[in-house]
Every structure is written in structure tokens, then in C-alpha cells.
Amino acid sequence: MNHSVASYLQTDNLGAWGTYLEQVDRVTPYLGHLSRWVETLKRPKRTLIVDVPIELDNGTISHYEGYRVHHNLSRGPGKGGIRYHPDVTLSEVMALSAWMSIKTAVVNVPFGGAKGGIRVNPKSLSLGELERMTRRFTSEINMMIGPQKDIPAPDVNTNEQIMAWMMDTYSVNQGHTSTGVVTGKPIALGGSLGRRDATGRGVFVVAKEAYEDMGCDVTQARIAIQGLGNVGGEAARLFAKSGAKIVAIQDHSATLYNPNGFNMPDLLKHVSIAHEIKGFEGESIAVDSFWSAPCDILIPAALESQITKLNAQSIQAKLIVEGANGPTTPEADDILQEKGVVVVPDVIANAGGVTVSYFEWVQDFSSFFWTEEEINQRLDKIMTDAFRGISYVAKTNNVSLRTATFIVGCERILKAREMRGLYP
């Protein structure tokens, strides 16, 4: 075997991409004859770096770095969100695109994995600047995207309005309206009912299933949630509605604790106005104390690499359900496994979003739209069945849920790869 490592993959600190590579290495011994193809998963199929120049409102020209990565297209068109964040890097986008390949395979929707992003603090831009940046970025990645090629969606700091601008820009360049080029659109432009809440809903459905699998009842659980954005906010709402108590919350602004459980409708109202949890009633605790707060289920629903070897030991929860992508480092995974903490990995836990994105794409193609009830029923069934399948693989192979999820995902991708064969 002579696999020379591509130059741009050689860095000292691989971050999220390093986490992903370690996860693939851990699953390789279980892949049997398919391990011959595993190198396919360790390098993205294609990556694009673009310059995004825009004129700011004050007349100056500002340049932003944008990315779109196709990790793997063996099972279908690329699928994955667009992230706007000042810390976005190519290697982070590569990791996020790879997790999309695994995720789409795990819930068995006919997509590959892709991701994009712009290295920008969107909060520093006016609405007009945000629109110009989004439209220029869409034009720059035009050769990568399309309803049959690669379908972007929202991710951290992007939303329905940004998807509407992307859809419009692509459509203007094509000369006809093409709703299926992005998902997570406004309902009025071919968006799907239930899409906005789908990721948080999926987190709740899978958490309930996993907790029952452990012989426990979610309605009695104490929950800690990091991040009350689109994912954490909806998951928290559903947990509270089921009777569970949200006892600890954290975002960029504060860490709050309330052993009696926060009033979720009031908290979500506060967040929708203030865009942060700061100012809501509850005991303010130290940032690091969030991880050791007494709770039963912990939901990281913010960014990558939050649960590390520095805080894993102090975690009190019996169950962790990863709403965020890549929140746990491999070292932390080992510590948690040693402690007997069950971890439901991101690539199943937060797959509800891309599942309803698939429904949206299908509805756009057929120009026939489903009811919210149909969407939620199908979503719940796909998530529950996928989790049960993974739990079975974990038990029969005596491996963690993460390794089991990667066995299922990698096998599906590599079987497709093998059947397609190499060209030429």
C-alpha cells in the first residue's frame, strides 16, 4: 500500500478532521473485505476554496474565504449545510462533509456527503452585506452545486432567508427557477413543513429511544443542554413537554443551573428576543461546571470538540446525545466508555435535519407537498429504526454506539463504492 498523504492534509493540528480520521481508523477492523476501500473515506473527493469579495455599506471592499467540499458521492448527490463562522477552516469543513457522508448512509437517504462555509462573523454584517456575500459565494461555488449534484442546506448561523438567496442566485444563473438546489428553504419557496424543527426533533426521538434501551424513562430525566439554537432549542422544548426537567443550560453568553427545571416556554421566548440565555433567571455557574452539573442526559448542541479529556471524567450524565457535529474528541470517547456513559453519536443523533431535507428535495422534484403529520411520522420512524439497527450492531459486536454507527455507515458507502468500481 502506498498512500501518500495529500499536502493540504498534513498539518500539526488536524482538529475535527483528526477526530474523524481516528473514528475511521477505529472502525476499519470491522469492515472485512471492504477495508480495501477505506482510504476513499480518508480523503475528500474534491474541495473548492473561493474568494468572496463584497462591497460593504461604507464603500470599502472586504474579502472572505469560502469553501465547498464534496467528501463522497458514491451513494448520490452531495448533501450538507453551509456554515458562517469566524473559525471556519478548510479542514473543519472537510470533517463536517465526511460526517455528512456517514450520516446520510446511516439513515439510508440517497445522498453523499458535502459541506460548505465562509470564514466570517455574520453578526458583523448588515442584512444587505449578508445578502451580497451569500449571493457572491453561491456564484463562486456554482460549478459544485445543483439539484442532481450537491444540495446545500442551513447549518450554524445560516437560515431560511440565506437558503432563499442561494436558491434565487443559482436560479438566475441557470435561467429558470430551481427549487431543489437547496433545502431548508422558506415554505413559500418549496420548503418543507417540519424542516426547521427536524434536527431537534430527531435528537429528542433518538434520546428517548436510547434512554428506554437503558431501562430508563425520559419523562423522569434531568437534562443539560449546551446551545439553545435551532437544534438545542427544539430538543429542549420537546424534552420539557414530555415532562423531563432541563436543569443546566449553556451558550456563548452564560451557564445557568436550576435543579427544579427551567420554564422552557419562558426561556425560549427570552432567547428569541435576546439571542442569548444571559439575563434569564437561574443560578449562574462557572463555564466548566456545566460539564459536571448533576443530570441524567447531556446534549451538546453547539460546536465541535467540546467534550475533551479535560472534562470527560467529571461528566455526571448516564447518556450523551450529540446534537452538534463532532462535539466529543476520541480521547474523551475512551474516558466515557470506561466510565460506562452511553454516547449516541452525532451521525445518528442529529440526522433528523438531513432526513427532512431529503423529504424536501423529493417534494420539490414531484411538486407535491406532504402534511406536517406525514413528515413527522416518517421522520420518527426513520430515526427510531436507524437507532434500533445500530443498537443491535453495537450489542452483537460488543462495540460502542459510535463504532456501530460507523460500521453501518461505512459499509453502505464502501459497498456502493465497490459496486461502482474504479474508473478508468
Nearest residue to 116 (alpha-carbon basis) of 66, 151, 72, 42: 66
376: its cell numbers: 413527522
In the complex with ligand GLU, the residue whose CB is nearer, 100 or 249, is 100
Rg from Cα positions in the chain: 21
In the complex with ligand GLU, the residue whose CB is nearer, 40 or 325, is 325
Supply the minimum distance, in Å, between the C-beta of residue 286 and ligand GLU: 30
Supply the minimum distance, in Å, between the C-beta of residue 162 and ligand GLU: 12
Strands (DSSP E) found in 46-86: 46-55, 61-72, 78-85
> DSSP H helical segments within 28-175, as ranges?
90-106, 127-140, 160-174
Contacts 24+ apart (CB under 8 A), 30-36: 30/397, 30/399, 30/403, 30/407, 31/407, 31/410, 31/411, 31/414, 34/410, 34/411, 34/414, 34/415, 34/418
Supply the minimum distance, in Å, between the C-beta of residue 358 and ligand GLU: 8
Catalytic one of 115, 185, 208, 245: 115
Q: Pairing between strand 222-226 and 113-119?
A: unpaired
Give me the helix-helix angle, 401-420 and 372-397, nearest 10°: 100
Q: Which residues contact 34 (CB under 8 A, 6 or more apart)?
A: 410, 411, 414, 415, 418
> DSSP H helical segments within 305-400, as ranges?
330-339, 346-349, 352-366, 372-397
In the complex with ligand GLU, the residue whose CB is nearer, 80 or 282, is 80
Supply the minimum distance, in Å, between the C-beta of residue 81 and ligand GLU: 3
Site residues for ligand GLU per CB under 6 A: 79-81, 153, 155, 183, 325, 350, 353-354, 357
In the complex with ligand GLU, the residue whose CB is nearer, 100 or 319, is 100
In the complex with ligand GLU, the residue whose CB is nearer, 218 or 354, is 354
Supply the minimum distance, in Å, between the C-beta of residue 105 and ligand GLU: 13
Supply the minimum distance, in Å, between the C-beta of residue 355 and ligand GLU: 8
The angle at the Cα of 285, spanning 283 to 291, to the nearest 5 degrees, equals 120
Q: Indicate if 115 belongs to the active site.
A: yes
Supply the minimum distance, in Å, between the C-beta of residue 194 and ligand GLU: 12
3-state secondary structure of 184: coil
In the complex with ligand GLU, the residue whose CB is nearer, 181 or 264, is 181
Q: Which residues are 85's β-sheet partners?
A: 119
Burial of 167 (0-12, 13-18, 19+ CB in 10 A): buried
Give me the helix-helix angle, 372-397 and 352-366, nearest 10°: 140
159: its cell numbers: 437560515
In the complex with ligand GLU, the residue whose CB is nearer, 31 or 120, is 120
Catalytic residues: 115
